[in-house]
Structure 1
Amino acid sequence: MAEEEEKSLEERIGSLRLPNDDEVFGVVEASMGSGHMKVRCKDGNMRTCRIPGRLHKRVWIREGDVVIVKPWEVQSDEKGDIVYRYTQTQVGWLRRAGIWGE
């Protein structure tokens, strides 16, 4: 039974969106309005991130959500774009796999 759970967890993690080389995990700290958020990133920076138009009406992002941030090429330590938001179930899978820990 435990082996089946382990396999299904690995399959779920395999199909889950993970950050690329130029992207980082982050947690939304505050909403600033107009599609902008303050995000505390895993690399230690606090960034002002925007929600691109393709996600703006499709994905609702709230404080405390785990997201993937793509830092801008200019002002990369201060600004970025939110490219993906994880659901609470997906965050649980990431924690069990040891990828995400707060």
Structure 2
Amino acid sequence: MKLSTNNNDFENQESNVTRVRIPRKDQGEVLAIVENMLGANRVKLRCMDGVVRMGRIPGSMKKKTWIREEDIVIAVPWDFQDTKADVIWKYTRPQVNWLERKGYLKSR
């Protein structure tokens, strides 16, 4: 087996564009860190606005996206009950790195 000495592979990896969905403040979306898995599609979220909420994983995300502890997600707090929220997006590792570099994540 011959090892590749072509540097194009490395350059292509660096030039990949990471597309990141930013929380929309006008729609009330906030970044959150998953603290605990509570069961029955519920998670405990530590939101960036300083509130600890119980998050609900909707059925549209339940089978497609696996959410674990310490994942970064976008949550939408409920209008009528501020201690609860819906999880609408989960970030991948490269997206989390981009958020940290750009200053969206203050401290984990």
Q: Into which bin does the TM-score normalised by the smaller protein fall? A: 0.7 to 0.9
Structure 2: 5+ residue runs without aligned partners? 1-14
Query: How many Å separate the matches in 2 of 1:101 and 1:45?
Result: 15
Match of 1:66 in 2: 72
Asked if 1:16 corresponds to 2:20, the answer is yes
Match of 1:48 in 2: 54
Match of 2:41 in 1: 35
How many residue pairs get aligned? The number is 91
Residue type of the alignment partner of 1:18: I
Q: By how many angstroms is 1:101 displaced?
A: 2.6
Structure 1: 5+ residue runs without aligned partners? 1-7
Please give the TM-score of this superposition, normalised by the length of structure 1. 0.83
Computing the radius of gyration from Cα coordinates, the structure with the larger value is: 2
Please give the TM-score of this superposition, normalised by the length of structure 2. 0.79
Query: How many Å separate the matches in 1 of 2:84 and 2:104?
Result: 24
Off by >6 Å, runs of 4+ in structure 1? none
Residue type of the alignment partner of 1:53: G
Query: How many Å separate the matches in 2 of 1:99 and 1:24?
Result: 11
Match of 1:87 in 2: 92
Residue type of the alignment partner of 1:31: M
1:92 counterpart SS class: helix
Q: Which has the higher contact order (CA 8 A, sep 6+)?
A: 1
